[in-house]
Amino acid sequence: MILKYPFQINQYGKTEAVLDVETNVEQQIGEYLLSQQGQRPMSQLFGSNSYSLLFESFDPLVFEEFKMESLAELRTLIPSITIISIDVQEIEQGDISTGLPNSLGIRVTYQFPYTNMVKTTTYTINNPLQLTEDAPL
């Protein structure tokens, strides 16, 4: 049984589980991209530096470095899939004076080798300093 991420309890008081491989892979990618390095006490090296991208100027070289690091790490963490591409794009432009984005979209395209099915999933990283009650989480 694979627990659903984020952790949830169903109407019967039991933990929600993921029953299909596709959802499990999507969750694993999200766990890596949305976790900051050092966030997990027992696994300090797990996670990406995706949130630090929000505090960088929109620089293609910085994003390319992030993509290469994430690609290598995801290939190690989830060997059952083939990562085709990772794209980073600015979703909402932040304050023009600082040049920092308010939110970024990280789009991951991957393939299940046994079925040749290709799937694309987008994860949104929001600047915690810019969150309002109307902002999506």
**Single pTM value for the model:** 0.73
Residue-wise burial string across 25-63, b where 16 or more C-beta atoms lie within 10 A, e elsewhere: bbbbbbebbbbeeeeeeeeeebbbebbebbebebeeeeb
Q: Is residue 135, in this structure, part of any structural domain at all?
A: no
pLDDT of residue 131: 54
Q: What is the CATH number of the domain that holds 43?
A: 3.10.450.40
Decide if 12 is inside a domain: yes
Confidence at residue 120, expressed as pLDDT on a 0 to 100 scale = 95
Tell me, yes or no, whether 91 lies in a domain: yes
What is the maximal distance between C-alpha atoms in the chain? 51
Residue 11 domain-assigned (yes or no)? yes
Q: Is residue 58 part of a domain?
A: yes
Measured distance CA(114)–CA(60) in Å, rounded: 34
Does the residue 18 lie in any domain? yes
Local confidence pLDDT in tens for the 137 residues of the chain: 567 767 788 888 888 877 778 888 898 898 888 888 877 778 777 888 888 877 777 678 888 888 999 999 999 988 989 999 999 887 766 555 555 557 788 999 999 988 889 999 999 887 766 555 665 55
- Does the residue 137 lie in any domain? no
Q: Which helix (H) or strand (E) holds 119?
A: strand 117-126
What the block records as the tokens of 90 is 């600015």
9 DSSP β-pair partners:
15
- Domains held by the chain: number: 1
Look up the domain containing 69 and give its range: 2-130
